[in-house]
């Protein structure tokens, strides 16, 4: 499910729909070339008409035959600078992405302190940016638990990070806070709470879709789980009452920095497995490949049940 944003994710080369332009005059770029750049940038990246596009100053590039051309995409105070390459004959506009191969993709995801499900020492880590109100996340959650964790047994560990889509999900942030309050005391209590919400989201929303009633239901469910897990109720109640969003906002920023514009978003050892609720077969294909690369033989898939042969009718 896509996050509704005022400003679309540019660095991933995908922008919201739109048309028109506003380009700053460049002394070394002829007006007709500016217009062509405008048309290409607007059409290729579907920039909305109320978003301004401003060309920066040309500078020498490390790529032979090209100059660097920064393009600022802005709407009010929000802006993003995207670097393009313009050929010296002004006939080609290019976009070059670079990747830091010195950085381990898995270590780029900060999972310190997050509850772990599965084997904590497993070589394969599945990280899911989750929204507890998102129906697509619920679908993904049911793919992971129990099918995936049962299939791979001790070969995989699972970690969830918060990315509540607060623009469209009114109780997602509150749910994330309550879940983290449980996680502060007990990882199993956290996972049981997540399991419940991903199976009973409609009940939390309720018929009247009243956020305050949803908040009360979330708090009540968290306290029920805390009681079952024998947690410190006073500590939990204080945490719930505080509703501290700090850590969740930090993970939302991490998701934005990774150019994730929706949930769920599943990573296998740092590799993003497409977006949205990934089909089980596709997810398992990536896990199997990653296990082999780590020197581990994946478990065989269960053979499909064989249909019984129809009984022969006698004469």
On whether residue 212 sits in a domain, the answer given is yes
Give the per-residue pLDDT at 145.
Answer: 97
Residue range(s) defining the domain that contains residue 232:
116-293
Element (H, E) at 226: helix 211-228
pLDDT at residue 61 tops 50: yes
Same domain, 90 and 121: no
**Distance (Å, whole) CA 286 – CA 133:** 26
Residue closest to 173 by CA, chosen among 246, 83, 82: 246
On whether residue 158 sits in a domain, the answer given is yes
Check residues 50 and 141 and name the one with the higher pLDDT: 141
Give the per-residue pLDDT at 261.
Answer: 83
pLDDT in tens, 65-108: 999 999 988 888 888 888 999 999 999 999 877 767 776 666 77
pLDDT at residue 17 tops 50: no
pLDDT at residue 36 tops 70: yes
Would you state the structure tokens that stand for residue 16, as one six-digit string? 């919201």
Give the per-residue pLDDT at 31.
Answer: 83
Same domain, 197 and 279: yes
- Determine the Cα angle at 270 with ends 120 and 79, to 5°: 130
Same domain, 121 and 214: yes
Same domain, 69 and 205: no
Give the per-residue pLDDT at 27.
Answer: 44
Q: Is the pTM of this model over 0.85?
A: no
Same domain, 171 and 269: yes
Mention every residue, 6+ apart, whose C-beta is less than 8 A from residue 114. 159, 160, 161, 183
- Number of separate domains in the chain: 2
On whether residue 50 sits in a domain, the answer given is yes
Residue closest to 181 by CA, chosen among 227, 228, 230, 243: 243
On the 0-12 / 13-18 / 19+ scale of CB atoms within 10 A, 159 is: middle
Contact of 204 with 138, CB cutoff 8 Å: no
Contact of 158 with 143, CB cutoff 8 Å: no
What is the domain-level CATH number for residue 261? 3.40.30.10
Same domain, 160 and 220: yes
């Amino acid at each position: 499910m896509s996050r509704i944003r005022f400003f679309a994710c540019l660095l991933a080369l995908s922008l919201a729909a739109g048309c028109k332009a506003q380009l700053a005059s460049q002394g070394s770029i002829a007006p007709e070339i500016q217009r062509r750049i405008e048309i290409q940038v607007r059409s290729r990246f579907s920039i909305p008409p109320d978003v301004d596009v401003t060309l920066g100053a040309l500078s020498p590039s490390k790529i032979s035959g090209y100059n660097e051309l920064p393009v600022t995409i802005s709407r009010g105070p929000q802006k993003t600078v995207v670097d393009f390459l313009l050929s010296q004959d002004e006939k080609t506009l290019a976009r070059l992405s670079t990747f830091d191969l010195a950085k381990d993709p898995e270590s780029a995801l900060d999972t310190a302190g997050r509850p772990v499900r599965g084997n904590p020492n497993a070589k394969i880590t599945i990280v899911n940016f989750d929204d507890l109100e998102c129906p697509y996340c619920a679908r993904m959650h049911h793919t992971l638990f129990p099918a995936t964790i049962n299939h791979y047994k001790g070969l995989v560990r699972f970690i969830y990070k918060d990315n509540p889509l607060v623009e469209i999900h009114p109780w997602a942030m509150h749910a994330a806070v309550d879940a983290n309050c449980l996680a502060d005391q007990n990882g199993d209590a956290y996972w049981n709470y997540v399991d419940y919400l991903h199976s009973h989201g409609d009940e939390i929303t309720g018929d009247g879709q009243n956020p305050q009633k949803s908040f009360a239901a979330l708090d009540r469910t968290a306290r029920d789980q805390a009681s079952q897990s024998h947690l410190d109720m006073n500590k939990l109640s204080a945490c719930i009452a505080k509703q501290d969003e700090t850590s969740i906002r930090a993970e939302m920023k991490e998701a934005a920095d990774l150019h994730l514009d929706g949930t769920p978003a599943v990573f296998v050892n740092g590799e993003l497995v497409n977006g949205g609720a990934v089909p089980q077969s596709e997810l398992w294909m990536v896990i199997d490949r990653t296990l082999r690369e780590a020197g581990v033989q994946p478990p065989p898939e269960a053979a499909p049940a064989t249909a019984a042969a129809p009984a022969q009718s006698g004469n």
